[in-house]
Amino acid sequence: MKFKIKHKIFFYSAFFFIIVFIALLYMRQLLLSDFHDFVEGSLEDKIYWVTNYLEQRYQDEKDLNKIAEDTARLALIVGLEVKIFDDRDVFITDTHNAFNKASPNIKKRLSSFYKQLKQTENHEFLAYPLFSQGEEIGTIEIRKIKDARTGIFVTRTNQFFIIATFIALLGALLFNYLISRSILSPLGLLYNATKNLAEGKRKIKIAMSTKDELGELIDSFNKMSNKLEEMEEVRKVSIAKFAHELRTPITIIQGEIEGALDGVITLSQERLLSLLEEIERLKKMVFSLEDLYKIQKKMKHIKKEEVDLRKLFQNLEKFFNNKFSEGTDIKFFIEVPENLKVFTDEELLKQMLYNLISNSINATEKGYIKVRAENRDNKLFIEIEDTGKGIKQEDIPYIFDPFYSNTDGMGVGLSIVKEIVELFNGSISVQSEIGVGTKITILLPH
């Protein structure tokens, strides 16, 4: 079963609330239990004080009747209701009699305690024998008077539990709301936009911005959408250009052959050479596509070995120097330190350098082409600089796309270079200025 993120967050929030509720319930129970133990311990202390007071007074007075009422009034002050009996279980007095027989001033002082006595729940009395010098002198029955302060503590504890539970519930709901508003809402927009983009729809932009990672993600998506739209336009233009490049020689060849068949054109040696040039042009286009396919296939089976870069670059220098005519205004320089060796696929590296240098030669009429290589921070640094016609700034982001070209070529060579660089987990950057030249920098790990 598929769960949406908002459902998961709701379940997590509910789980968090349940955990907090259980913790609060446990804390409440723990507080009440400890308080109950405290009250019980305090009650035992009070009973001990009253019985001890009565027994001590008896040793001095030797008459239980004389001290019974004072003891009952003392017990009332500490929160106890008592009944006192002699050694023959004859009733002597209790808290009510002691209060009623007290003087007006004492009654006034005891009135607040006596009011609590009237509110005491109907609990049973507990009997405690009284002793003096080892002999039983009577019995005192005691029960605790209901203490308003005890009730207040229990009430406050329950109120705290209810308020804390309400705050936890409100916090969970608020957390859900904030998460939905600040995270799920942008994620929902991003999900729908991504889905539409995957279905082939274009010109999709999310009209929402937040100052966090989600905002950066939305901005990145909008940039990606714009980039895809631009690439789509570039692809259409590139395909149209490629079709035009193919159509031109095919049309020329077709026209010449049809003219010859109709007897309108005589295929002279000169015309045949012209047709051969158009066929060579078609052949070059097809071979460019074949090269792209071969490189992509080769990338699946890389063969790494130790490559002497100085030797490799010297061979390239000899190859390209042979292509320059004697009257050319182009100078070719290669700067590679001795004993510069890397562990890589020599064939792919050679193809990459060949394509880059060929592009520089095609773009340069006079000046120089300089190729440098060195080891920088355990990375192979390669720089190819020329004084060619340069590349427009708006064209630079697309020069590595297949069939995109700002020259008369097919635009396949640089796309092969980009694929090889990415295969080597390297990076490539381009700096160019119209009329000044181009500098291409490559960093390859080795």
275 and 361 fall within a common domain? no
Tokens of 228: 């895809």
The reported pTM is: 0.49
pLDDT of residue 251: 83
| Residue 71 and residue 50 in contact, taking contact as beta carbons nearer than 8 Å | yes
The reported pLDDT for the residue numbered 253 is 81
Q: Are residues 123 and 19 in the same domain?
A: yes
211 vs 180, 214, 218, CA distance in Å?
16, 8, 10
Q: Does residue 158 lie within any of the structural domains?
A: no
What pLDDT tens digit does each residue of the chain (446 aa) get? 455 667 777 787 888 888 888 888 888 888 888 888 887 888 888 888 888 888 888 888 888 888 888 888 888 888 888 899 988 888 999 888 888 888 888 888 888 778 777 665 567 888 999 888 888 889 999 888 877 677 788 888 888 888 888 888 888 888 877 777 777 777 777 777 888 777 777 777 777 666 777 777 778 878 888 877 777 776 776 677 767 777 777 888 888 788 888 777 777 788 788 878 878 777 777 776 676 666 666 666 678 888 888 888 888 888 887 766 555 678 888 888 888 888 888 888 888 898 898 888 888 888 889 999 998 888 899 999 999 898 888 888 878 876 666 555 556 778 888 888 888 889 999 999 998 999 999 999 87
Domain containing residue 223: CATH number = 1.10.287
Domain annotation covers residue 190: no
Q: Are residues 411 and 371 in the same domain?
A: yes
- Which domain range does residue 378 map to? 299-445
Same domain for 315 and 292 = no
pLDDT confidence of residue 57: 87
Q: Region of 362 please: left (phi>0), alpha (psi -120 to 50) or beta.
A: alpha
Q: Supply φ then ψ for residue 90, to 5 degrees.
A: -90, 130
Beta partners for 93?
84
Q: Is residue 344 part of a domain?
A: yes
How far, in Å, CA of 389 to CA of 228, rounded?
Answer: 28
Say if residue 104 is exposed, middle or buried (CB neighbours under 10 Å; 0-12, 13-18, 19+): exposed
Query: Which residues of 95-210 form beta strands (DSSP E)?
Result: 126-132, 135-144
Asked whether the beta carbons of 225 and 233 are under 8 A apart, the reply is no
Give the pair of three-digit tokens for residue 278.
């158009």
What was the pLDDT predicted at 12? 79
- Whether residue 109 lies inside any domain: the answer is yes
Q: Are residues 132 and 30 in the same domain?
A: yes
Residues 12 and 145 reside in one and the same domain = yes
Task: Report yes or no: 442 and 427 within 8 Å, Cβ to Cβ.
Answer: yes
Backbone torsion region of residue 339, taken as left when φ is above 0, otherwise alpha when ψ lies between -120 and 50, otherwise beta: left
Is there a single domain that holds both residue 303 and residue 317? yes
Instruction: Compute the distance between CA of residue 92 and CA of residue 85 in angstroms, rounded to an integer.
Output: 5
Q: Where are the beta strands (DSSP E) in 119-200?
A: 126-132, 135-144
- Angle of helix 213-261 relative to helix 269-298, nearest 10 degrees, comes to 150
Q: According to the model, what pLDDT value does residue 302 have?
A: 74
The pLDDT of residue 20 is 86
Residue 115 and residue 213 in one domain: no
CA 285 to CA 288: how far, in whole Å?
5
Q: Which residue shows structure tokens 């060929």? A: 358
Residue 432 backbone dihedrals phi, psi, to 5 degrees:
-150, 150
| Helix, strand, coil abundance in the chain, percent, nearest 5 | 60, 15, 20
Q: Can you tell me the distance from the alpha carbon of 206 to that of 186, in angstroms, rounded to the nearest whole number?
A: 9
E-strand stretches of 268-328: 305-308
Do 108 and 231 lie in one domain? The reply is: no
Query: From CA 439, how far away is CA 385, in angstroms rounded?
Result: 4
pLDDT digits (tens, 9 = 90+) for 285-319: 777 667 666 666 666 667 888 888 888 888 888 88
Q: Quick one: tokens of 382?
A: 């390669």
What is the total count of domains within the chain? 3
- End residue of a domain, out of 277, 298, 319: 298
Residue 172 lies in a domain: no
Residue 332 shares a structural domain with residue 411: yes
pLDDT for residue 403: 65
Q: Which of the listed residues 112, 130, 150 is the one where a domain comes to its end?
A: 150
What is d(CA 176, CA 192) in angstroms, rounded to the nearest whole number? 21
Residue 100 lies in a domain: yes
In a domain, 119, yes or no: yes
Relative to beta strand 366-376, strand 379-386 is: antiparallel
One domain for residues 282 and 383: no
378 located within any domain? yes
129 and 101 in a common domain: yes
Compute the distance between CA of residue 433 and CA of residue 302 in angstroms, rounded to an integer.
Answer: 35
